[in-house]
Structures are given as C-alpha cells and as structure tokens.
Amino acid sequence: MREGIRPHDIEITPLFSGSSGNAILVSTSGTMVLVDAGMNCKKVVEALHIVHVEPSELSAVLITHDHSDHIGALDVFTRKFGIPVYATAQTWEGIHAVERKPHNAELDHEIETGVRITLGQFEVLAFDTPHDTTGSCGYRFFTSSCSASIATDMGYITDDIFQTIKGSDGILLEANYDKDMLWNGEYPYPLKKRIDGQFGHLCNDDCAHAVAELCKNGTRHFILGHLSKENNMPQVAERTVLRAMQEENLVRDRDYTLRIANRYTPTAPLLLSAENKEIYLQEIVV
C-alpha cells in the first residue's frame, strides 16, 4: 500500500511509459488502480514492488485500448491475480482476440465513455480518444476534492477531451514525438503519416499548447508520457513545453510543476494534495 496518501489525495505513479509498454498506478487512500498493463506480467509486478505495492492490493485494472503496449501483461496478470478489468466493449473485443487462455469472465467489466463509475474511493470517467483502434479512451479520476486525468494515444486533443480533463489537479499527457525528428527520421513514410495523423499520436507542439491552456484553466501538475524512443527525447519534449509556458508567462514551480515519465522504470510519484492546492493558486498568471 502506498503511504502518505491522505483521504481524498490522489497520487499518480507511472510505472513505465512509451511504445515499449505503459502502466500507471493511480492511488487514493484505500483504493489503488492500474491504468494499462503493457510489457509483460513480470515487469508490471517488478515495477509495482519497486513502489511497494502488491498486485493483490489493486482494486482494478483500467485499459485505455487494445494496442500491445497497453495490454501486453494483461492476459497473464489477470489469470494470476484475479483483478477486475475495465475496458470499453470494442477494447474487450481486441483483448479477447489476443488472449492465450480464458480467465474468469466475472472479472470483465465493460465501461462506457461519458458515464461515471465508482471504483472504491474513486469516481472514474472514461472519455473517447481519436486513435487508430476502436474504443480507445482516456480516464479522469475524482475524489471528493481532487482529480487527475490520463490522456495518451491520441492524434489530437478534441474539444471533448479538453473539456473533460480541464480543471484536473494533475494530468499525465502524451508527448509522443517531435515533428522534425519524426519527418527527418528513419520510419517508412506510411508509418510517419499514421503517427502524425488525426488518429495517431500527440506531438510535442500540440501537447505543449494543451499544457499551457490547461494550466490557464487551473491544472498545476503535469507529467509528459508515452514519449517515442525514436522520434523524441525527454529534453526536447520538456523544452517544447517550457517554451509554450514562457510565452504565457507561466513559471515552472511557481505556477506549475512538470516531470517526464521514465520509459522503463517507475517515475517519482506525483502526489496531488486535496488540502494544499493553494500554494500554487496564489500567483497564477492568466
């Protein structure tokens, strides 16, 4: 169990992040859930142990979509630990298609985007994301006084996504690729077009613009995630966001915090305190 989380706080701990695999631990007092289970079961369990969590302590696994970097561990993990899994109907079709052995069907829960559900101490709202598979979604988590959003694997930020995640205390947002690195890089042309398309991934520039707008709308804490190994670098993504924030006179560690999720190892947890949001609200420049 994660320590130091008081009632209504939310903590976001990316376990690993990127096209090689994604898993994010989202915790509040009494409830912990995993968003996505990429890589393999062993890697997920190892990463959970690093942050002092046993798989059996999880209340649920929420899946964003059926690409292998998000469900690679799910088949074995579900059979081994019997944790309830939540996904949209279309994502379930994709999950079942790659399952090697069936698991207890009572663990399967279908969610609908736009409909809030209760998961332990969390309320959870799934929202549609434009990506090249059907039924893909992101998630916003609520306690009575705090909220956090996870939004990755999307070609662009739709109005609906922006309105849904706006006002979250903390957001993990995709910063997948730098446009110049992608288009000057080694990928074949059709793949470049797919990544840069409306149903591909979010580029650093679009991410940076969104971070600035979200900060102006009250979000104080950002994690950049799902960085491409070939078409991005942490420093490049960070620099792009910092530049966009400077243009809006938003100052790091005064108006907002920014961190980059590690590709292979757990990232320092981001604790969103239900009590001391005021620290960051004193000097907002809008």
Note the residues at the interface with Zn ion (CB under 5 A): 67, 69, 153
Tokens of 283: 């000097």
Pick between residue 75 and residue 153 the one whose CB is nearest to Zn ion.
153
Pick between residue 126 and residue 274 the one whose CB is nearest to Zn ion.
126
CB of 96 to Zn ion, least distance (A): 18
Cβ atoms of residues 264 and 15 within 8 Å:
no
Pick between residue 69 and residue 238 the one whose CB is nearest to Zn ion.
69
CB of 100 to Zn ion, least distance (A): 21
CB of 232 to Zn ion, least distance (A): 13
CB of 71 to Zn ion, least distance (A): 10
CB of 174 to Zn ion, least distance (A): 8
Amino acid identity at 31:
T
CB of 78 to Zn ion, least distance (A): 19
Pick between residue 153 and residue 238 the one whose CB is nearest to Zn ion.
153
Which residue, judged by CB position, is nearest to Zn ion in the bound state? 67
Q: Give, in order, the Cα–Cα distances in Å from 238 to each of 122, 206, 211, 227, 252.
A: 30, 13, 11, 11, 11
- How far is Cα 250 from Cα 243, in angstroms, rounded to an integer? 10
Cβ atoms of residues 203 and 178 within 8 Å:
yes
Cβ atoms of residues 37 and 63 within 8 Å:
yes
The residue among 160, 137, 136 whose CA lies nearest residue 150 is 137
Pick between residue 67 and residue 140 the one whose CB is nearest to Zn ion.
67
- How far is Cα 123 from Cα 244, in angstroms, rounded to an integer? 32
Strand ranges (E), the chain: 10-16, 23-28, 31-35, 60-62, 85-88, 108-111, 116-119, 122-128, 137-142, 147-151, 170-174, 221-225, 257-260, 270-272
Phi, psi of 15 (to 5 degrees): -85, -40
Pick between residue 153 and residue 178 the one whose CB is nearest to Zn ion.
153
